[in-house]
Structure 1
Amino acid sequence: MTDYDTYGTSTHTASELVRLVTGHLDVVFTERESDYRGVYHLAQGTYGRIEIQPNAIPGDDGQDDPYAPEHSSVRVLLLTDTPAPEPTLHTRLGTIQGLVHLSRESW
């Protein structure tokens, strides 16, 4: 089973959140660019896959669209993908001021 968690913040920019998460988890992010998602940051390692990206992504009509429309008030998203429940990851992310756990799905 894989756990997918979504966190969000309107307090930090994507680059600020990358710096904070790097300090809390000792992971290394690489910047990626996608036609669909725009610029996002990816880390893979002990905790699984962690992505940080703006909620506003480039739309087909030249306007930005929310990546997570159900959380449209959130500026930046942090997405995790772990092969099993990872309580240490969630505990450490929970210590980042302004970062809120929004949802969890398990498949």
Structure 2
Amino acid sequence: MTEYTTYGTRTHSASELAQVVTSSLGLAFVERDSDYRGVYYKADRPDGRVEIQPNLIPGDDGEDDLYASEHPTVGVLLLTKNSAPDPVLQARLESIDGLVLLDRKSW
């Protein structure tokens, strides 16, 4: 069963959050630039990945769109994909000041 989680923050920029998560979890993020997602940060883990990106992403019409439109006030998203639930990762992410769990799905 794969678990997907979405966290959000209004406190940190994407690059700041990548630094905070690196300090907290020891992950090595790589900055990526995507036409679809804009600049985002990705770190691979043995059982999954963590990605950090702005909620505002470049739209096809030249206007920015929300990646997570159900959370319009959230400026930055942290997305995880794990091969199984990881309570240690969850606890560490939830202990980061200003980072809030928005959604968790498993299938």
TM-score range normalised by the length of the shorter chain: over 0.9
Whether 1:73 aligns to 2:77 is: no
Give how far 1:61 is off: 1.1
Hey, what's the Cα distance between the residues in 2 that align with 1:47 and 1:9?
24
Hey, what's the Cα distance between the residues in 2 that align with 1:79 and 1:71?
14
Match of 1:38 in 2: 38
Match of 1:88 in 2: 88
Give how far 1:47 is off: 5.4
Hey, what's the Cα distance between the residues in 1 that align with 2:64 and 2:41?
18
Gaps of 5+ in 1: none
* 1:53-105 residue CA offsets vs partner (Å, 9 max, x unmatched): 00000001111000000011100000000000100000001111000000011
Match of 1:99 in 2: 99
Equivalent residue pairs, number = 107
Hey, what's the Cα distance between the residues in 1 that align with 2:71 and 2:46?
28
TM-score by length of 2: 0.97
Q: How high is the sequence identity, in percent, across the aligned residues?
A: 62
Which of structure 1's runs of 4+ aligned residues deviate more than 4 A? none
Match of 1:60 in 2: 60
TM-score by length of 1: 0.97
Match of 1:5 in 2: 5
Does the 8 Å CA contact 1:47/1:86 hold for their aligned counterparts?
Answer: no
Alignment of 1:15-30 (within 5 A): 15-30=15-30
